[in-house]
């Protein structure tokens, strides 16, 4: 069994969906635990990378400050000093890594953490001293500069890593460090897995509870000290509220039908899904496994756009979004004036839509309907020649100028520039909500929604009056999620103006 794509899962789906699974109600205990873990996790990969970046900044800043103190300014700084700072930076990171200073466990121990960094920093200058003893550098480097650099760097490490230890301690108390996990499937296999995880040194998995469809006579209410919080359908709502990072399925891989049914329910969540293989008699090739601690797992679904990919996408949104907002501000100002002159009412319109992880957000739009006929809940779909649409509204809807205020949602972190378009919470076709029309519809929300998207530039924008149109949108959205890259985002952005020229379905 290997990693299953969303397309594979969709192939298993039935033509008609069951009632929305996320409507399953959690019991009081499950809701209380979900709220306790509701703060988003901090990726250890990003945290360690940020610590390395901060240490690098300390090394360079200390070197420049030492030069300023030694010579009264930074003008005319020579290449020997620049080379020395570069070498010191590289050696500091190498020695700190060798001292095991860059792991989350070390970050929690203030004394040991500072000791590791000062030790690494001292080794760097011991290396410089050895080089100076064996090679005549001809007075290219001032000894005072070395002394100031060492003292300022040591002070910077003490201050920086003290602040880091305080933050890490606070995040650990909030349960934000490590991966929040849920066990799917109870009984002895789940108990064995939990005991194995808890006995693994350096384990970063925090178990929130167990979910199982079986009744208590077949699956105990408490597994290795953790409560059974509900069934698999209820897990979707729990995962959304608790911002779960990892789902571990303990059902035997031989029960492939049951695993497939569970996976079809859970794949809408933006999480990693693993099948535990530690007690299974089937054995795969080593490269087929991933590991949680020392426990072998088979990948079923992978969380999209995580760790540094998430940071890169957010940075792309902030930089490009800000530039677009500045560049388009004259057009937005002219649109606002035109709306005020055309009809009475506010310039902007807010509408509740589903965002990342199925959470409801309010998106900004230029008002295109008559104020007295506004429909913030999108109960009535806008159709061709709709009498509610104003003269200016008809033009800005066809050209998608009404969507430009959503750049503010991008800067606020609620939307991305590129992603599946956020649909209104009451969006429907033929009196059926869209999440009831297409099974797995909420899987679109495994990533942050976007101002534009792959579906839109391929012609699937505007009115959705048939089930087939909605399925085409969802298929394109899932393709985008599975194939995301910064380059893909850039290509979609560049193609968007040309796609907007096609206004056949925009009313």
Q: What is the pLDDT of residue 409?
A: 95
Q: How far is Cα 168 from Cα 177, in angstroms, rounded to an integer?
A: 8
193-220 confidence digits (pLDDT tens): 888 888 877 677 888 889 988 877 777 8
Banded pLDDT at 307 (limits 50, 70, 90): confident
Query: With 90 as the cut, is the pLDDT of residue 152 above it?
Result: yes
pLDDT at 291 over 70: no
What single-letter DSSP state applies at residue 423?
Answer: P
Decide: helix, strand or coil at residue 420.
Answer: coil
Structure-block tokens of residue 51 = 């610590």
The pair of structure tokens assigned to 18 is 């069951």
Q: For residues 177-185, give the mean pLDDT.
A: 86
| Local confidence band at 13 (pLDDT 50, 70, 90 cut-offs) | very low
Sorted by where each starts, the structural domains of the chain and their CATH numbers stand as 6-41+178-301 (3.40.50.720), 44-173 (no CATH), 308-500 (no CATH)
Q: Check if the beta carbon of residue 34 is closer than 8 Å to that of residue 211.
A: no
**What is the chain's mean pLDDT, rounded?**
81
Q: Using alpha carbons only, how large is the chain's radius of gyration in Å?
A: 28
pLDDT for residue 21 is more than 60? no
Can you list the alpha helix ranges (DSSP code H) found in 369-445?
A: 391-398, 406-411, 434-437
Q: What is the pTM of this model?
A: 0.75
Q: What is the dihedral of CA 446, 451, 455, 458, to 10 degrees?
A: -160
Helices (H), 99-186: 104-108, 110-134, 143-173
Are 18 and 261 in contact, with CB atoms under 8 Å apart? Answer: no
- Residue 173's pLDDT band, with cuts at 50, 70 and 90, is confident
Q: Is residue 371 pLDDT above 80, yes or no?
A: no
Residues 353 and 449: beta-carbon distance below 8 Å: yes
């Amino acid at each position: 069994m290997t990693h299953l794509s969303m397309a594979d899962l969709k192939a298993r789906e039935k033509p008609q969906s069951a009632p929305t699974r996320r409507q399953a109600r959690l019991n009081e205990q499950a809701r209380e635990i979900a709220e306790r873990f509701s703060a988003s996790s901090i990726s250890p990969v990003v945290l360690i990378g940020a610590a390395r970046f901060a240490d690098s900044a300390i090394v360079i800043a200390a070197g420049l400050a030492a030069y300023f103190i030694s010579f009264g300014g930074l003008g005319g700084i020579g290449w020997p000093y620049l080379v020395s700072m570069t070498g010191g930076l590289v050696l500091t990171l190498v020695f700190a890594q060798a001292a095991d200073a860059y792991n989350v466990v070390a970050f929690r121990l203030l004394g040991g953490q500072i000791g590791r960094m000062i030790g690494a920093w001292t080794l760097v200058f011991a290396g410089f001293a050895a080089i100076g003893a064996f090679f005549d550098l001809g007075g290219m480097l001032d000894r005072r500069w070395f002394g100031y650099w060492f003292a300022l760097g040591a002070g910077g490490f003490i201050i920086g890593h003290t602040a880091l230890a305080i933050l890490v301690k606070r995040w650990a108390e909030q349960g934000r460090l490590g991966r929040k996990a849920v066990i799917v499937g109870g009984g002895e296999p789940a108990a064995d897995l939990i005991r194995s995880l808890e006995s693994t040194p350096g384990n970063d998995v925090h178990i929130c509870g167990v979910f199982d469809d079986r009744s208590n006579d077949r699956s105990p209410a408490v597994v290795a000290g953790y409560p059974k919080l509900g069934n698999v359908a209820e897990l979707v709502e729990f995962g959304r509220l608790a911002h779960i990072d990892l789902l571990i399925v303990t059902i035997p891989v031989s029960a492939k039908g049951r695993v497939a049914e569970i996976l079809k329910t859970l794949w809408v969540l933006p999480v990693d899904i693993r099948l535990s293989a530690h007690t299974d008699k089937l054995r795969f090739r080593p490269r087929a496994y991933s590991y949680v601690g020392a426990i072998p797992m088979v990948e079923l679904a992978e969380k999209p756009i995580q760790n540094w990919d998430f940071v890169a996408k957010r940075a792309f949104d902030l930089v490009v979004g800000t530039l677009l907002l500045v560049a388009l501000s004259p057009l937005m100002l002219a649109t606002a004036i035109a709306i005020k002159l055309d009809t009475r009412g506010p310039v902007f319109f807010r509408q509740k839509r589903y965002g990342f992880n199925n959470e409801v957000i309010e998106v900004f739009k230029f008002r295109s309907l008559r104020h007295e006929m506004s429909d913030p809940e999108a109960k009535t779909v806008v159709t061709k020649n709709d009498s509610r649409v104003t003269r200016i509204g008809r033009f800005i809807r066809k050209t998608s100028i009404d969507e430009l205020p959503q750049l503010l949602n991008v800067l606020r972190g609620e939307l991305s520039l590129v992603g599946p378009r956020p649909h209104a919470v009451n969006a429907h076709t033929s009196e059926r909500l869209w999440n009831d029309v297409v099974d797995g519809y909420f899987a679109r929300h495994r990533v942050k929604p976007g101002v534009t998207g792959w579906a839109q530039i391929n012609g699937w924008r505007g009115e959705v009056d048939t089930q087939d149109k909605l399925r085409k949108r969802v298929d394109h959205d899932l393709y985008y999620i599975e194939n995301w890259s910064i380059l893909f985002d850039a290509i979609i952005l560049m193609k968007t103006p040309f796609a907007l020229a096609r206004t056949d379905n925009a009313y």
